[in-house]
Chain A
């Protein structure tokens, strides 16, 4: 008599060496190619929550009116508040709610791109979920990562979250109108950013007084030229 037996504990080890983000990177490459074909310059804004990204975007979009055709993808865990603020400027905007996730990924952005009139866009801003850790690791298909940091956050953000500062091509230091009221050592902050990313350009802005906005807008215009 033969008996069918299941031997449960045959252990199998599979060697892989597989990139965890490979699936994301494939889609990011597709996004990048699509954006290239449509001549859309894309910027991924990374920062802590509350650093002033949405406010900066609203001012930026106003300043770029008539100069560049812009659009925005808004990433937030919940709500469409930020997208509503952007929509008031008249610029096309797509809201992505990541619910549990602390970052945008390339497939989410791919879906959002399908909802935008890419033929009529020169410059696309992606406002990532407020968080300096995970968003840095995920390529979305953008041309540039921009790190946004406000003067209320403490000088040492660059060395606490080095990857975001290392990968960014420019750092926007926001809310400089508050400097007189704070013990914020701006030079130390910039020096720390340069330990992580030597030569990183820093643009100091205030969305309230409009200080530095022209420099930021010039930087964008040069990128899109």
Chain B
């Protein structure tokens, strides 16, 4: 919300109509919960009634032993090849506002 308000101000927006956000599968945030919360916090602000478009990048892991990337199984993060202990999260923890769209205040003769 803080980000949205700032952007709206800086860009002379009179109304924020939609937001594109990226919420990784392994970010700990549930899209439904976010939509619900957004409706609540945006009430009475420039962003009231705006739509949230949520991208959900899947979890991608990397095994530092086999040097392979593999899709993360949310119930078992270990490397399917070696079941090794050392893996890195390559994707899936993102929480980003990618873009904000709105109507701009314009005065014309």
Contact = CB atoms under 8 A, between A and B. Distances in A.
Chain A complexes with chain B:
yes
Interface of A: 2-21, 23, 133-134, 136-137, 159, 162-164, 166, 192, 195-199
Nearest to B101: A13
A196 B76 contact: yes
Q: Which 5 A-B pairs have the closest CB atoms?
A: A198-B85, A137-B28, A195-B76, A159-B75, A163-B28
A221 to B, nearest CB: 26
B52 to A, nearest CB: 12
A-side interface mostly = mixed
Interface residues on B, range: 35 or more
Contacts of B77: 162, 166, 195-197
B107 A16 contact: no
Given A195-B78, A198-B78, A6 B106 contact: yes
A14 B26 contact: no
B49 interface: no
Contacts of B99: 13-16
B104 interface: yes
Interface string B1-45: 011000100010110010001000011111000000000000000
Contacts of B67: none
Contacts of B75: 159, 162, 192, 195-196
Contact of A21 (B30, B95, B106): B95
A26 B108 CA distance: 41
B46 interface: no
A2 B109 CA distance: 6
Nearest to A7: B106
A18 B94 CA distance: 10
Contact of A4 (B96, B104, B109): B109
Contacts of A166: 26, 77
A162 B30 CA distance: 13
Interface string B56-98: 0000000000000000001111100001110000000001111
